[in-house]
Amino acid sequence: MQTFRSELENPIVEKDIIELEKKIRLYREGKLQEDKFKSLRLARGVYGQRQLGVQMVRIKLPFGRVSTQQLLRIAGISDEYSTGNLHLTTRQDIQIHFVSLDRTPELWAKLEQDDITLREACGNTVRNVTASPEAGVDPQEPFDVSPYADATFRYFLRNPICQDMGRKFKISFSSSDSDTAMSYMHDLGFIPKVKEENGETVRGFKVMIGGGLGAQPALAHTAYEFLPEDKVIPLIEGVLRIFDRHGERNNRNKARFKYLIAKLGLEEVMRLVNEEYKALKSHAFEIDRNAIFTPAVPEAREIPDFVIEDTEKYNTWLKTNVFQQKQQGYYGVYIKVQIGDISSDTARELVPLVRDFAADDIRVTQGQNLLLKYVREEALPYFFARLDELGLAEPGFNSVADITTCPGTDTCNLGISNSMTTAKVLENMIVQEYPELLFNTDIKIKISGCMNSCGQHGMANLGFHGSSLKSGKSVVPALQVLLGGGTVVDGEGRIAQKVLKVPSKRGPEVVRYVINDYHANKLENERFNEYFDRNGKDHFYQLLKPLADLTNLTPDDFIDWGHQDQFATAIGVGECAGVMIDLVATLLYEADEKLEWAAEALEEKRFADAIYYGYSAYISTAKALLLDINVKCNTQSGIIQDFDTNFVAAGTFDFTPDFKSQVLQINQQEPGEEFANQYISKALLFLQQATSYRQQHREMPAPKPVQREA
């Protein structure tokens, strides 16, 4: 493989990309362990696919914002390195698939020319910071949350406190109490609030903490009813430090932040977070309200000749895909993108229309659609006509016929059964058989290829996730049906309840049964979740039970949507949250590497970063020695305690009064130059002593380990 060197002006980015190229080369030469390499590339947005030898590349778009120039760049990248398709995700990213691993550094360098990053789009990091796509134009918003989402993204990108946590961490900013960024399902969710103090309007946020979907969904708790705006970044930093130190490291199924809250309790977690205050890089962080997130308004221009072929479709589109912004005379236009897939050619053709008749501020929505802003009222008919020519004017945004889905078995290792084709089949069926539902935004259908809820089925009014059923010696592709989830308001959400499984080919019948039953029996003005609550889960179980009958299967039931061959489960190893690396030599190498980064941070006078690198080196070194005597280490706080028990108490290493006191000075000292130098020097000495100890004792019997009680 040829060595690649980028021509970027940003030395930090250039170093990142060169590092990826170097590690790919070492991996190809067999000099870098596969698990270690996997962890590194995931943190750089490169994710293994179901198909061997190719990668999915996730492009990180903070709060879903993408300019026309960036869209052109991504479209060109997809053509050159991928398949010419852009996949919009529920976390407001864009993914491209079937990329050669060896070409990813070159791809990343070209993206960075237009300020687009892959960094920390996957792996055990702070994932893309999401926000309501309407932020800045939402008629209900107290203020624009875009600067806050952007500041959060930039503050924690490459931040040492969140580079190698136990699992991923997700943050959202909603624009109003409508909570369209779904704060209740995030590790940290923020809802903007204002209040009057001393005759002045003060900004702040309601803070939701500890939510999450996955196989075991949990609703977030309220941490603050009103947190001042300058305390947002410090709170996030404190929470991440506690998650890093106390979060589970071995059992990935129990490693999300919601499980730490369940284990310790919200009160104890918040107490620990508050203890970190003294050591934070920023005790207050002022957000630049004047940051340019209000795009230039398009100038009025002559509208070219056009013809609207289908006036009924135009009128429906106006009602379902267009809304009046808080800025008088301007409209937001939603583009409904089926299954989130838009071709690079279509994306390129969209750009001139946006540049001429909308603001240069496109937002990817959580429903895998696009939002265009600042379209003048008089331009809407022409806008529709051009979109219709591009196949981008389908009405029914956010309706029953606007189904959210993950890629499922098309590309994902964890997919059990198909979700993409299933979504297409259901959407087409709804449009043809229930056209009136294009106006219904009360029922949201969401589909995931497995139980992990990347398609957000866990908070759908009607959700499906991929599964399988046994029929004799054969396996049938199946859908688990869930009902009754969704967003309520102001941080309150509902988790969908599992009802039963049906063969996948009966998915359309499930939708028909549920919709017909609701329409036939609902009370006047009764919303779907109210109807679900009034009738109860068993009502829907009995309603759908005939569809779960496996005695009348046809040959077609054994073939999944979008496939021709008989179904067989083929689940690979998931990479959505990284892989643990527990080899002793690797951990000692990591400690040395982190101390190198600490030295660089010291030189640049980034004292808080330097101290945290030193802390990470302490942990990696101690974990290496513990693993060498077969002590199971599942949290950083446990590692510290176990090291005292097995090495300090035995007199093998001398720490006064103990290892814990020395390491946890990190949250007792302000991050100044003197303490940073002292702390890192001691961490380096510890690594040297540990390396020497291991070399001396490798041929000797290991001491009997002392395990803590669980």
651-664 confidence digits (pLDDT tens):
999 999 999 999 99
Phi/psi zone of residue 29: left (φ > 0), alpha (ψ -120 to 50 degrees), beta?
A: alpha
Give me the torsion for CA of 438, 444, 448, 450, rounded to 10°.
-140
Asked if the model's pLDDT at residue 46 lies above 50, the reply is yes
Which amino acid would we find at residue 500?
L
H or E element in which residue 71 lies: helix 68-81
Mean pLDDT, residues 149-170 taken together: 95
Cα four-point dihedral sign 294, 237, 247, 591: positive
Q: Which fold has domain 130-279?
A: Sulfite Reductase Hemoprotein; domain 1 (3.30.413)
Under the banding of pLDDT at 50, 70 and 90, the label for residue 28 is: confident
- Do 130-279 and 11-112 have the same topology in CATH? no
Under the banding of pLDDT at 50, 70 and 90, the label for residue 143 is: very high
Q: Which fold has domain 11-112?
A: Sulfite Reductase Hemoprotein; domain 2 (3.90.480)
* DSSP label at residue 667: G
> Other CB atoms closer than 10 Å to residue 513's CB: what's the count?
18
For the chain, the helix, strand and coil percentages under 3-state DSSP, each to the nearest 5: 45, 15, 40
Under the banding of pLDDT at 50, 70 and 90, the label for residue 571 is: low
CA 326 to chain centre: 29
Under the banding of pLDDT at 50, 70 and 90, the label for residue 698 is: low
**CATH code for the structural domain at 584-697:** 1.20.120.330
Task: Look up residue 171 and give its two tokens.
Answer: 């943050």
pLDDT of residue 5: 41
Asked if the model's pLDDT at residue 19 lies above 50, the reply is yes
pLDDT of residue 581: 37
Do 461 and 486 contact (CB within 8 A), yes or no?
yes
SS3 126: strand
- Residues 500-545: pLDDT tens digits? 999 999 999 999 999 999 999 999 999 999 999 999 999 999 999 9
Mean pLDDT, residues 547-561 taken together: 94
Cα separation, 439 vs 315, in Å, equals 12
pLDDT of residue 6: 42
The domain locations on the chain are: 11-112, 130-279, 311-389, 404-558, 584-697
Asked if the model's pLDDT at residue 373 lies above 80, the reply is yes
- Residues 594-625: pLDDT tens digits? 999 999 999 999 999 999 999 999 999 999 99
Indicate the average pLDDT of the chain.
92
SS3 703: coil
Cα separation, 452 vs 415, in Å, equals 9
Give 521 or 39, the one with higher predicted confidence.
521
- Residues 226-252: pLDDT tens digits? 999 999 999 999 999 999 999 998 888
pLDDT of residue 319: 98
pLDDT of residue 20: 87
Task: Read off φ and ψ for residue 68, nearest 5 degrees.
Answer: -65, -35
Asked if the model's pLDDT at residue 670 lies above 60, the reply is yes
Under the banding of pLDDT at 50, 70 and 90, the label for residue 2 is: very low
Crossing angle of helices 636-643 and 232-246, rounded to 10°:
50
pLDDT of residue 358: 97
pLDDT of residue 37: 81
Asked if the model's pLDDT at residue 270 lies above 90, the reply is yes
- Across 206-220, 268-282, 496-510, 694-708, least confident range: 694-708
Under the banding of pLDDT at 50, 70 and 90, the label for residue 124 is: very high
- Residues 403-437: pLDDT tens digits? 999 998 888 878 888 999 999 999 999 999 999 99
Under the banding of pLDDT at 50, 70 and 90, the label for residue 273 is: very high
Asked if the model's pLDDT at residue 578 lies above 50, the reply is no
pTM of the model: 0.92
Q: What percent of the chain has pLDDT over 90?
A: 79
**CATH code for the structural domain at 311-389:** 3.30.70.3340
H or E element in which residue 112 lies: helix 104-112
Give 570 or 213, the one with higher predicted confidence.
213
Contacts of 670 (CB under 8 A, 6+ apart): 278, 279
Asked if the model's pLDDT at residue 709 lies above 80, the reply is no
Cα separation, 277 vs 299, in Å, equals 48
Under the banding of pLDDT at 50, 70 and 90, the label for residue 338 is: very high
pLDDT of residue 1: 37
Q: What percent of the chain has pLDDT over 70?
A: 95
Mean pLDDT, residues 149-176 taken together: 96
Cα separation, 219 vs 579, in Å, equals 26
User: Hey, which residues does 324 pair with through a beta bridge?
Assistant: 331
Under the banding of pLDDT at 50, 70 and 90, the label for residue 704 is: low
* DSSP label at residue 220: P
Task: Look up residue 351 and give its two tokens.
Answer: 């750009």
Cα four-point dihedral sign 114, 118, 120, 126: positive
**CATH code for the structural domain at 404-558:** 3.30.413.10
Under the banding of pLDDT at 50, 70 and 90, the label for residue 23 is: confident
Under the banding of pLDDT at 50, 70 and 90, the label for residue 570 is: low
Do 160 and 597 contact (CB within 8 A), yes or no?
yes
Which amino acid would we find at residue 191?
I
